[in-house]
Structure 1
C-alpha cells in the first residue's frame, strides 16, 4: 500500500512548487500592517486637510473645501515659515555633507579595519542618547553664559544665541550620523584601484576627488541627504528649544493640534512636508540614491 503523506508535508510540497504564492503569504501580514497603519494614516491626513473647524463649537466639520489651502498659500506668514523650513532643512543637509565627507573618507580609506569598527561605533553612539538631552545640551552651550560664548569672548566675539542659526547648528549635530554612515558605505565600496589609477595618470588630489571620488559617491551623499533633509523638514522640537521666536512647519502643526484645536488646518500644513519629500524622492531617484539606502 502507498503511504499517505501527512497534511503538513503535502502543504509544504504545494508551497515549494509555488514560490510566488509562498512569498505573497509571507508578506501579506507586514504589507497589511503597512497599508493600515502608515498609508491609512496618510490617507486620513489628506482627507482631513479638506475639512474645516466650526469656530463656535470647535468641532470638525466634514464639508469638503479648499479653504485651508487658500489660507495656507495666501497668508504671507505661512509662506515665510514654509520657506524658512525648507531653507533650514537644505542648509542642515549641506552642512552635514561638508562635515561628513572627510570624516567618512578617513574612516573608509585611511583607518585600519580595527579603527574602522571603533569609528563606526563612535559615530553611532550619539544616536543612543536621548534627543531631548542633546537638544538641551546645545541650548546650554548657546546660552549667554554658555560654553560657546566663553570660548569666543577672549577674541571679542559672541555666539549666535537662539534663533535660526542655533536651529541649524543643533539639527546639523543631531542628524550628522545619518549623513556619515551612507557616505562611509559608499566610499567603502569605491575600489582603491580607481584612486590609484587616477594618481598614476598624473591627476592631482583635487582632480581625483572631482573626477573620480565625488561622482562615484554622489548617490551615497544624496542617500544621506534624504535622511537629513526629511528629518529637518518635519522637526519642531529643536526649534522650540533653541530657535527663539523662530517657527517651522512642525511648530504650526503642533500649535494647531493643541492650543488652536484646528485639526483640519494642522493636517493641511502637514501635507506640505509630505509633498516636498515626495517631489524630492522623485528627483533623487534618478541618481540611484535609493539603491544606497
Structure 2
C-alpha cells in the first residue's frame, strides 16, 4: 500500500465511524459535587473535634454572645441585619453585590459567587444561625485545619439549584455542627420520607417518620462518633426538599431532640423558592 492508498483508507474509516456521543458534563459535575460534600463534612468534623480537644477554646474562635467575636475593635455580628443590597457596613459599595448575576461560565465550576442565588445561600446561613438553641456559641473564622466554622453556598446540580449552610456549635470545651441543605423542585430525590432522609450524604442509619404539625418528616439516626449523627428530611408539595442534620462530635448530647429536629425541618423560612 502506497501513501495515497493509506490516506484514502484512513479517510474512509473516519467518515464511516459513528460520531461519539456528547459528554454529560452536568451529570459529572453533580456527582463530583455530591462526593465533595461528603469529603468536606468528614474533614470539617475532624477540624471541629480538634477545636474541642483543647481544655479552653481560643478566644478568637468563640463568641461571648451569639455572633460577637471577643477581639480588639468592633466585629460584625452574624445575627445583625444584613446591609441593603449594594452597600457594605461602612456605607461603601459592596464589591460582591456589584458583580453581575452569576453564570455557570463565570468561574468554571457550579458554585455561585455572586448574584441572587449566592444571596439565597447567605440568607440560609442567617436563618440557621437564628435557630441555634440557647446555651451554644457559634464561632466564626477558621478552625484548626483552616476550615470555615460557618459557611454557605449555592450550587447547581442536575438540574436543580441546591443551597447549603453549615454552623459550628460550641459549649464549654465541646463542639458540634448543624447543617441545612435545600434542593429546588425537579430534584429527583426519593419521595418516601425515610428514603429521603437516608439519601442525605448517604448517612443511612435507622429511620422513623415524625409528625411535625401534621407534616411527615423522615428522621434517620446513626451511632457513629464521626460525621453526622442525625438527619431529617421533608418534601414540600411544590417539590422543594429540605434537609436539616446535626453532628454531636464532642458535645455531651445532640443540640436538638428528634422531634425538635423534625419541627425545625418544616420551618417555613427554610423553604427557599425558585
TM-score (norm 2): 0.29
More helix by share: 1
- Which structure carries more relative contact order (alpha carbon 8 Å, separation 6+)? 1
More strand by share: 2
TM-score (norm 1): 0.28
